[in-house]
Structure 1
Amino acid sequence: MSEPLFTLDADNYRKCQQLFRGTHQREYYDGEFWVDDSLPVEVEARRRAIGPYTIIETSAATRQFFRRTRKHIREDATDLGVLWFVRRGSLVFSNQQGQRIVGEGEFLLTRSMAPFFIELQPGDAGSHEILHLTVPAHLLRKHMASQNGAGETGSGAYMPAHVREIEVAQAMLGDVFDDDAMGEDSSRILVEAAIRLVEQAISASPGACQARQTVTEQRLDEVLRFIEVHLSDPNLCTGMVSKGCGVSQRYLSLLLQGTGKTFSDLVWSRRLEMAREWLAHSHKRDVAISEIAYGVGFKSTAHFSRKFKSVFGQNPRDFREGALADQAGEIEAINERAGATIQ
């Protein structure tokens, strides 16, 4: 459920520097924030927290300004990416590389660890509206891993209006923000999908550097996709893959050299990873270990247990019990922090 972050009017706008980060200064990062009081001061910002992410909707009838300097960065090293979707009005972004005006329907990505200046301007209708998402830097790197530097997209990454991925990402975030009935897990799935859509848009833009796949790389992708689809089949073998992908077994062997693994190592390691993930997120009352073993392509539970222990150092039962205990501990810690915040 969304909740107020801050509201500014003629009576309190001089306190905007203390108010803009919300209760206990928990949102955004340190910087200089002020508003233009030559126009009626009407600024409202609401937030919805989804795990480590926060969706914030801001509407205003006056100009707002924000500056983050190297001094702010030294004193507050909060490393966040902010995905800005401009709904009305415009956003003027300036940094050492220059200035960019981001208009209605356009998108901007900023990073808190580089100095910048932002001005939010009302449009012709006398108002502006921004929807933005704050993303911790380590998660930004994870979700934007295809970008140069493993997600180190710098401040100022921009997308023009009418880019379909950006439009869909904004709509998804807007739905999550407005839908009080949607659960936390489902909301997080949609938020992370929206981030990935933004990543796809940026990586596909004309300025992005995209390497063309060779025929060999395309063939390897086809082979790996076939193996992934058929991992649960205990009869999966090189003959089955070569027939399904239309290549000889000799050529298949040459292709797999590019992965650094033999066919057998590739299949068994992937099956064990699938099993580990399944064990970590299931309870014995819901699915038996034997069902997991057969579900990932093992022909016997004994073989599965031996393989699992040789790789992960624990038998499947002990691993599952430990994973469930860790999750229970994390939930308890979250509940304790939430209780302390409420108090």
Structure 2
Amino acid sequence: MPITNKDRQIAENFSVQQSQPEKRDQVYYNSLAVLAVNHYCQWMDISTDLKESDSWNPIKQSLGDLADLSLTNLGKIECRPVNFDAAAVEVPAEVWSDRIGYLAIQFDEGFTQAKFIGFLEKVESEKIPFEQWRSLDNFLELIEKLETVDSDHLEVNLGNWLQGIFDHTWTAIETITQPSDLELGWNFRQRSRTSSQTISNSNTSEIERVKIVSLEPPGTEMALLVGLTPTTLSELDISVELYPTQAYSYLPEGLQLMILDQTGKSVMQAEAGGSEKLLFKFSGESGEQFSIKIVLREISVTEIFVIESTV
């Protein structure tokens, strides 16, 4: 993979913002590795977003050894740089989580070419010999799998919800909070619901539907609750809540809930750190599209919503 003059200039611009020589070198190497992977992904038609990557933020660069590249709607790939005379890849423990995988990139002595050493989906060591890295085909297979999971979800038209029309996967809350389920840890029984109502003339009624979301490992299930309240003929107040489905339990550590705009950019994001639920509230207008993305380690689920009409 060729490294261009522009690539080296970008890496240099990042590195000079660091005060310590060792940190400048680290940022320079990391930036070149990220750019090499970004070029490769572009050639393979894998959508990326450099600006959403922590490695592209000078402040975060100064706080950690980060070389992540955000793949649109899929997660982050870690791009670890390797010196020309090294025989192993260094992967700091701080990047062992929140990554869908790891790519190792070795530079030549003059930083004019980058060679892909290989791919790993998970790492548990700070030094990994070259022979333990797997083929790039494994990286492409992972991307194909994640894109398949992501594309399994069709758009949900919230305009239909306002007319009382619901997909069978989105159910009324009452249907899953029967007496046998009263121990579920959602606090649903303490709240007044109007899930199956259509909108009244006053435009003040709230519609809420829930969907059970399954992630790996098997048995990891959560309840995704979406609520709508029309405020004008063209605008909705929208609430998004995520709960564990087990009694007195908490959301998995490290689980992320994101709201994406129609370009796939994250506009709201929260991470569960022993919390009982995650909650977002925002507004949407007729014609807009947004997505709800749930990420746990290398697995993600995305639900796409479109607001066709709020009348």
Q: If the length of structure 2 is used for normalisation, what is the TM-score?
A: 0.31
Q: Which has the larger radius of gyration?
A: 1
Q: Compare the two structures and name the one with the higher strand fraction.
A: 2
Q: Compare the two structures and name the one with the higher helix fraction.
A: 1
Q: If the length of structure 1 is used for normalisation, what is the TM-score?
A: 0.28
